Amino acid sequence: MAVRAKFRCTTETHKKWGPTDEQVTRSYEFMAVYDTETPEDQRYAKTTPTGTLTIQVDNPAVSFEPGKAYYLDFTPADGD
């Protein structure tokens, strides 16, 4: 069974982890979207009404914009 959730990026944090300025990792915090005025958000709130997610990203090609919403798709992993 797959589940799609809608989360909004709320925070971007940069952390230096090595001796050079290039060694920076970014952490992002997301919260489940809950807007009673938006029909799409009402549908997502029925299956994922609350939730938080924090991820760390080292890939410079990957970034998320605080304030922007993203879909998260959850599907079972093979072999588990």
Q: Over its length of 80 residues, how does the chain's per-residue pLDDT go in tens digits?
A: 788 888 999 999 988 877 777 778 899 999 998 777 778 877 777 777 788 999 999 888 999 999 999 999 989 988 76
Only one residue has tokens 């915090």, namely 29
**Residues 2, 9: Cα–Cα separation, whole Å:** 22
**Residues 33, 41: Cα–Cα separation, whole Å:** 6
Phi, then psi, of 69 in degrees rounded to 5 = -95, 150
Supply the pTM of this predicted model: 0.79
